[in-house]
Amino acid sequence: MRPLLAIALTVPALALALPAAAQDVPEPKVNQLIVYGDDKCPPADDENTITVCARKAEAERYRIPSALRESSSPQNDAWTNRVMAYERVGRTGTMSCTPVGAGGWTGCSGKLIDAAYAEKKTSPDIRFSELIAAERARRLATIDKDAADTQSRVEELEKQIEARQKAQAEAAGQPEGDSPN
């Protein structure tokens, strides 16, 4: 009876040891990559590596990641803005947009107008400065062609005038160098 008891106690102990033995197997390494355009996802180097590829557009290859481009955290604020914030600390009175001091409210409309212009300038919707620059570039691209066309028309008109003057001189019987005037 004792051997049966020993077996009965050993089997549950082995069953508990099997999950622990499975945990000793190392987790496979995960290789996470970002591929752009039509680039191929590289194969895993060995059996213990899993390669996962995220695909992005080719236009994103050399750009700053969008999480950093669009971050509005205080660490990404320009030093100029930080300095301006320190300069405004303690401003009170007229044109300060504060509830402190006489006339503190007078600077609020100016502050709102400045904020609106700053927002309009950096708005991704419509940037008129970029549209104007693009139109200027388009027009400047045709200046050389237009100038060449105008020059060829002028030269053609000059040839016609010379031919007419030469024909008039021959008809009048004058030598070629003299003008009919």
Say what the pLDDT of residue 159 is: 96
Q: Is residue 67 part of a domain?
A: no
Give the model confidence (pLDDT) of 4-26 as tens digits. Answer: 544 555 555 555 555 555 556 67
pLDDT at 160: 95
Both 36 and 46 in one domain: the answer is: yes
In single-letter form, the type of residue at position 14 comes to L
CA count, 13 A, side-chain hemisphere, 33: 15
Q: How far is CA 144 from CA 139, 150, 156, in A?
A: 10, 10, 18
Identify whether the C-beta of residue 50 lies closer than 8 Å to the C-beta of residue 70.
Answer: no
Domain boundary among 87, 104, 125: 125
The span from the CA of 54 to the CA of 115, in Å, is: 39
pTM, rounded to two decimals = 0.29
Which of 12, 34, 60 terminates a domain? The answer is: 60
Q: Please tell me what DSSP assigns to residue 174.
A: -
CA distance 129 to 118: 13
According to the model, what pLDDT value does residue 55 have? 87
Query: How far separated are the first and last CA of the chain, in Å rounded?
Result: 146
Q: Per the structure block, which two tokens stand in for 141?
A: 């691209």
Of 28 and 14, the structure prediction assigns the larger pLDDT to 28
Claim to verify: residue 180 and residue 140 sit in the same structural domain: yes
Got the DSSP string for 22-82? HHTSPPPEEEEEEEETTPPPPPPSSTTEEEEEEEE-GGGTTSPPHHHHT---GGGS-HHHH
121 shares its domain with 131: no
* 65 located within any domain: no
Q: Buried (b) or exposed (e) across 70-85, using 16+ Cβ within 10 A? A: eeeeeeeeeeeeeeee
* CA–CA dist 54, 127 (Å, integer): 32
pLDDT per residue over 63-99, tens digit each?
877 766 776 777 777 888 878 777 667 777 777 777 7
Write down the pLDDT at residue 151. Answer: 93
Please report whether residue 26 resides in a domain: yes
Domain that holds residue 89: 74-125
